[in-house]
Each structure stands twice: as structure tokens, then as C-alpha cells.
């Protein structure tokens, strides 16, 4: 959280203030909820672009001062996620996200008949087919709608899985779980930091990561949803 909060000095998104942390709890400053408005959505888009622009040393790089692997998922059952600095985004995302999650899922009996789909996507990623030469962005990493607190002063972000990655990953997660005023957020972001050509066609590729996480943690329709997405890119 501190790594993300550092970007606020350059206009980055507001990050919830950490009050206390221990092995069994994380206490955050309490915020008074407010309405989500077009004005605040526009501000979030611009601020998120600034957070991403603060950058990271590499794709897959952990936050400053963090020396372990990462986590994502519910607090009662978080999934460990590798954080190995990598020169190219496709190699990072293919190996440390898609293949890693495929292995976790297979250990739980998932994707036994569809593993080849995910392997082909990982191969395409690792080959550099989806790399666009953009530098690593400073990602929230788990930016679904529930991790935005809307206050009267504007949105505040909570519960990050921060790392260096591709900016489109945060935006794809906002789109996956339909954050309020999502069209305004994306438009304001695009005006502040123009998105690469064809970004809409890659949304599902980035969404495959959180959907696979949900398939492993919750099962159900998320398993078939992940396979459906995979077929679009395999």
C-alpha cells in the first residue's frame, strides 16, 4: 500500500491509510462513504493513469521493501502469486500468472480436459506476441469494484496486490466486475494516458487472470467462464 501511496505525490490515486498491521489483522483509516459521481469517476481515471505512470523496476517486480511472493484472493484463503522481476510483460504474464494459476487449478482437479488451451495462451504470451514495448506500470493488481471506496472527497483504493505489470490489467479488472461509471473512468484514463491501439481486443486476455483466480477459489461458473475466455485467445 505504501508503494502505491507514494504515487499520490504525482497525482496518483488515493490509497487507504494503514493504521496498524499484524499477522491476524490489518486496520485501515475509516472513511465516510459518499456517492459515486461522474466527477469522481473522471478523477479516478486521471489519478489511476498517474499511479501507473509512477512505474516499476520490471514486470512482476514486487513493491519496494517487499521481499516475498505476492497474494491475491480472499483473506481466508489467499493464493500465493510469484513476483519475479521480468524484462517482458508477456513472459511475466504467461509464466507467473497463466501457467502458475493453471498449475494451482490442476492441483484441485480443474481444467483437466482444457489445460492445453491455457498452455497455448501462455506460449503466445511468452513469445512476445502481445508485448507492446510500454514500460512496467505500477499496478494495484486487484482492482475490482469492491476495492474502491467512494467518499465525498473522492474514491479511495483498498486491498491491493501491487506489482509491476501492464496498465491494461487494472482496467480490465474494473471492466470485468463493472465498477460504477466505468465508461467515464476509462475515457478519463485514455485522455490522460492514451491506451494502445486494440486495447479493447486484449481486455479478455487480461481478465483471464482474475477469472482463473475466482475459478480456483470459488469454482462454479468461473471455471467454464475461464475456459470460454481461453478459447478466444488460444
| Closest among 49, 57, 113 to 85, alpha carbons compared | 57
Residue of 142, 170, 197, 221 marked active site: 142
Whether residue 48 contacts residue 138, with contact meaning beta carbons closer than 8 Å, is answered with: no
H/E element holding 19? strand 18-22
27 catalytic per annotation: no
Grid cell digits, residue 44: 479516478
Whether residue 55 contacts residue 33, with contact meaning beta carbons closer than 8 Å, is answered with: no
Strand 79-81 with 137-139, pairing:
unpaired
Length of the chain as a residue count: 234
- Which active-site residues does the annotation give? 142
Amino acid at each position: 500500500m505504501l508503494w502505491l501511496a507514494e504515487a499520490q505525490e504525482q497525482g496518483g490515486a488515493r490509497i487507504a491509510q494503514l493504521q496498524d498491521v499484524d499477522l491476524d489483522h490489518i486496520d485501515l483509516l475509516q472513511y465516510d462513504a459518499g456517492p459515486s459521481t461522474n466527477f469522481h469517476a473522471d478523477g479516478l481515471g486521471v489519478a489511476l493513469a498517474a499511479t501507473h505512470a509512477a512505474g516499476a523496476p520490471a514486470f512482476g517486480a514486487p513493491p519496494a521493501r517487499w521481499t516475498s511472493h505476492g497474494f491475491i484472493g480472499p483473506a481466508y484463503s489467499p493464493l500465493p502469486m510469484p513476483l519475479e522481476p521480468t524484462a517482458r510483460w508477456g513472459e511475466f504474464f504467461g509464466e507467473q500468472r497463466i501457467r502458475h494459476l493453471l498449475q494451482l487449478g490442476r492441483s484441485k482437479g480443474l481444467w483437466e480436459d482444457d489445460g492445453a488451451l491455457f498452455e497455448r495462451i501462455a506460449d503466445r504470451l511468452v513469445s512476445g506476441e502481445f508485448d507492446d514495448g510500454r514500460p512496467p506500470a505500477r499496478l494495484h493488481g486487484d482492482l475490482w469494484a469492491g476495492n474502491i471506496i467512494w467518499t465525498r472527497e473522492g474514491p479511495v483504493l483498498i486491498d491491493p496486490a501491487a506489482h509491476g505489470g501492464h496498465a491494461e490489467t487494472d482496467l480490465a479488472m474494473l471492466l470485468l466486475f463493472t465498477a460504477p461509471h466505468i465508461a467515464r473512468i476509462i475515457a478519463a484514463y485514455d485522455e490522460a494516458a492514451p491506451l494502445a491501439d486494440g486495447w479493447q481486443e486484449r481486455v479478455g486476455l487480461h481478465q483471464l487472470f482474475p477469472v482463473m483466480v475466482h475459478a480456483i477459489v470459488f469454482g462454479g461458473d468461473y471455471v467454464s467462464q475461464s475456459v470460454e475466455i481461453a478459447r478466444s485467445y488460444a
